Structure 1
Amino acid sequence: MSSIWVGERVRLRGIEPEEFHLLMEFDQDSTVMRNNDRLHPPRSKAGYRRYLESGVGTPDDDAFGAGIESLAEGRLVGSFGTNRIDKNSGVFSYGIAIGSDFQRRGYASEAIVLLLRYMFGERRFQKCDVEIYAYNTASLTVHEKLGFVVEGRRRRSQYFAGKYHDVVLMGMTIEEYAAAHSLGSVQSS
């Protein structure tokens, strides 16, 4: 059996409420939080459980989040969530975070490819836009290697850690994705 959600290194899956402690662990690293979004105030164990129990999106909703599980370790190593869904123009975005202990192992790259395969090949989106902090060279490099194109820069866009930061705008079309990666196939039994 094959699954669109499974690659060579990772499986994209729901995050179980009892895994709240892993999200708490990831949120202890301010650099990971800032690279993904921004610092959030501390949350209680019950707050993390409520967040996970509420679920993010439904099976028919293009705005959803999921966990990234390492196949080798059998544990959650990160998460992602789609956002800014524009069905009219066929454009979406996402955010992704990998715990600091699990970075630079190819987990983010593979999770992004799996997510894009689903959004382009199954949900009919034609473009993905991402915003990456200009200082986050690791993420900029990953996205460039995957085939994203720099489309612009929003100067002094975000304020944290006592100063303003630029955001680099990158995008990938379905055609660019298909030229570099597989949209999948249908196999009959």
Structure 2
Amino acid sequence: MVSIWVGERVRLRAREPTDWEAFQAFDEHSDAVRNAWRIEPPMSAARMKKRMAEEAEQDADLDEFSLVIAAKDGNAPVGSLLTHGADRVHGVFLYGIAIGTPHHRMGYATEALLLLLRYMFYERRFQKAEARVYSSNDASLALHRRLGFVEEGRRRRCHYAGGRFDDEVLFGMTIEEFTERHA
């Protein structure tokens, strides 16, 4: 049997203290960081090592967690994803994904999301996934549309970065939509 956390290109795994260098390097690409959340002041190597060690020590939660997206060959980090806002009553969760700039357009995000959605829908019994994407993030907008997410709404001018305001686009996908497209 093969692990549900492993695809053809990627492996979803827990953070390790040794991942600090890869994530510090990813933070050097300001445009990518802006698309994922916000730019913060540079972090020292000591602080980044401590942060990664602390995150590696955290207890895992079945519904809200953060994982490293690692290249299957070599296990090196290429990005990360997290789940949050898990609502067990209504069966809805949100997630975020970020791929380091050197690893863009290699299929890592697509495969990582499909692995995550299979877990959340078929193992955790959620019925809907939601994602929020900034309107200037053309690559992520295209990814979500290509995967079959439905644009459900828009929060206007709610994100400021790089001297401009962006809308936040809300995407959703139900388990039935996922199963029809990706089973």
1:21-51 CA deviation, whole Å, 9 max, x = no partner? Answer: 1110001111111111111222122222222
1:132–1:31 distance in 2 versus 1, CA, 3 Å: same
Cα distance in structure 1, aligned partners of 2:126 and 2:138: 27
Conserved in 2, the CA contact under 8 Å of 1:79 and 1:97?
yes
- How far did residue 73 of structure 1 move? 4.8
For 1:2, the equivalent position in structure 2 comes to: 2
Q: TM-score, normalised by structure 1?
A: 0.91
For 1:120, the equivalent position in structure 2 comes to: 121
Map of 1:1-189 to 2, 5 A cutoff? 1-55=1-55, 58-182=59-183
Query: Larger deviation: 45-54 or 127-136?
Result: 45-54
Which segments of 5 or more consecutive residues in structure 2 lack a partner in the other structure?
none
Which segments of 5 or more consecutive residues in structure 1 lack a partner in the other structure?
183-189
Number of residue-to-residue matches in the alignment = 182
Cα distance in structure 1, aligned partners of 2:100 and 2:115: 19
1:110-140 CA deviation, whole Å, 9 max, x = no partner? Answer: 0000001001111111111111011111111
AA aligned to 1:65 is S
4+ long deviations beyond 3 Å:
56-61
Cα distance in structure 2, aligned partners of 1:155 and 1:60: 32
SS in 1 for 2:159: strand
Query: Larger deviation: 170-179 or 36-45?
Result: 36-45
Cα distance in structure 1, aligned partners of 2:165 and 2:31: 16
- How far did residue 72 of structure 1 move? 3.6
Conserved in 2, the CA contact under 8 Å of 1:58 and 1:64?
no
SS in 2 for 1:55: helix
1:150–1:44 distance in 2 versus 1, CA, 3 Å: same
Cα distance in structure 2, aligned partners of 1:60 and 1:136: 29
Q: CA RMSD in A?
A: 1.4
AA aligned to 2:160 is Y
